[in-house]
Amino acid sequence: MALLDENRLFPTDPALREFARNLYEGIRDLPIISPHGHTDPRWFAENEHFANPAELFVTPDHYVFRMLHSQGIPLEALGVPQADGSVTETDPRKIWQIFAENYYLFRGTPSRIWVDHALQEVFGITEHLSAKTADAIFDQIDANLKTDAFRPRALFERFNIEAISTTESAIDDLRWHKMIKNSGWAGNVITAYRPDSVIDPEFDNFAENVAIFGEMTGEDTSTWTGYLAAHRKRRADFKAHGATSSDHGHATARTEDLSPDIAATLLQKALQGTCTAEEADQFRAHMLTEMARMSLDDGLVMQIHPGSYRNHSASAFARFGRDKGFDIPTRTDYVHALKPLLDAVGRESNLTIILFTLDESSYARELAPLAGVYPALKLGPAWWFHDSAEGMRRYREMTTETAGFYNTVGFNDDTRAFCSIPARHDVARRVDCAFLATLVGTGRLTPEEAPDVAYDLSYRLAKEAYRL
């Protein structure tokens, strides 16, 4: 029995479906470009076996455990580690059983497609996951994971990944990337420069982070010029480990373009822990413009991922820490927020700034109009909660008419869940082919053009936008 419908996500109209399917067959086997994500480079450095099905599918996947929690299942029962080290469930089979019993909760969600895809295509499972099949499926996955064909590098190759970017903190020692590089393995695993911990005055241990940043670079990061020089050096280090991009996860899209004096004063206050909330926000906002200026020099593509209210539940945060499914999107303004940055560098044609959003109301109203005129701007794909069939369809419907296809940058999987990578790219390719088939079927694109666009959306645009 197949878990997956061969025609999934294609239009239901027979003529459109056939056209979409043909388009898809032309691009389904293109290599995967994964220019933004959160896989662990250690996997590829050490190439150890993944531990067990629960650690692969449940414990690290916030999409999965947040849904289970929403129905009253304690995070502890899913093995989510507690911040104080208190015991949580450690038996992977018990965790898997809960997942299987509650798998019906995922009906209609992208997690359902991703998990089914991984079960069928990666592990050869042919039964639907349920309380009844839980054990047998656990055993089958577990047995596979113990074989060499399921080690990280083997899966990487089997997934046909041409390039994948992880994301490291500006004060990461990049040891795993060094180890991959020195290993002689040909897999193209690169890093991306994520300086939030040394840019955000409200980040845990900001001053300490900036001091480490200074030590790592031999710069006096207690001065504004030394601090900027440290960024330049670390960006160069990251480039030496393959980085072609930086990534910025601010709460808002606010940017500023302050005078060096003011910026230097804010840095002093930030280091002394005397910033007001507004000053901290100004500093973060200004640093986006500084990062953009450095990008003009060193060519790193800049990614801005704003709009998540992180760790919304105080009790969940206190007990389980960051990234536990309690990050909630908020309304995000781009038009006013980006103006200082855009006035500084927005009309530079050698610069690429990729904007993401968690606020779909900004697609047609703000983001497509901005990316449709500023040479430096491109639109990132549908992100996070919107990385889904409906989310991608809305993205294309609300951005294409104003920004076209060529101010977008193909697909990002943005995931920690390694086995979901082929599934996620497959969803994106199918949804894009469905969209293109609809354009052709309604006379908005010629049948001759569609395969080119499908190729661009699946492969070329990501490669070119990220300079890979």
SS3 content of the chain, % helix, strand, coil (to 5): 55, 5, 40
Shortest reach from residue 76's CB to its own copies, in Å: 12
Shortest reach from residue 38's CB to its own copies, in Å: 18
Shortest reach from residue 460's CB to its own copies, in Å: 13
Q: How far apart are CA 396 and CA 400, in angstroms?
A: 5
| Strand pairing report for 193-194 and 168-169 | parallel
| Run of H or E residues at 279 | helix 277-298
Shortest reach from residue 179's CB to its own copies, in Å: 36
Shortest reach from residue 222's CB to its own copies, in Å: 34
Q: Which is nearer to its own copies, 7 or 144 (CB)?
A: 7
Q: Which is nearer to its own copies, 69 or 235 (CB)?
A: 69
Shortest reach from residue 424's CB to its own copies, in Å: 13
CB atoms within 10 A of CB 444: 11
Nearest one of 186, 194, 151 to 46, comparing CA atoms: 151
Q: Which is nearer to its own copies, 290 or 327 (CB)?
A: 327
Q: Which two tokens stand for residue 275?
A: 């910033």
Q: Which is nearer to its own copies, 251 or 262 (CB)?
A: 251
Shortest reach from residue 236's CB to its own copies, in Å: 26
Distances (CA, A) of 410 to 140, 396, 429, 465: 34, 11, 10, 9
Q: How far apart are CA 140 and CA 145, in angstroms?
A: 9
Q: Which two tokens stand for residue 75?
A: 């995070």
Q: Which is nearer to its own copies, 71 or 259 (CB)?
A: 71
How far does Cα 288 stand from its chain's mean position? Answer: 19
Residue 308 DSSP symbol: E
Q: How far apart are CA 361 and CA 108, in angstroms?
A: 22
| Strand pairing report for 308-309 and 245-248 | unpaired
Shortest reach from residue 281's CB to its own copies, in Å: 15
Q: Which is nearer to its own copies, 141 or 398 (CB)?
A: 398
Shortest reach from residue 390's CB to its own copies, in Å: 5
Q: Which is nearer to its own copies, 132 or 175 (CB)?
A: 132
Judge whether 193 and 235 are in contact, CB under 8 Å: yes
Shortest reach from residue 62's CB to its own copies, in Å: 9
Distances (CA, A) of 245 to 45, 248, 338, 417, 428: 21, 10, 19, 21, 22
Q: Which is nearer to its own copies, 98 or 210 (CB)?
A: 98
For residue 364, give the amino acid letter: A
Q: Which is nearer to its own copies, 13 or 220 (CB)?
A: 13
Q: How far apart are CA 145 and CA 152, in angstroms?
A: 10
CA atoms within 13 A on the CB side of 310: 12
Q: How far apart are CA 432 and CA 383, in angstroms?
A: 15
Q: Which two tokens stand for residue 435?
A: 């969209």
Q: Which is nearer to its own copies, 171 or 377 (CB)?
A: 377
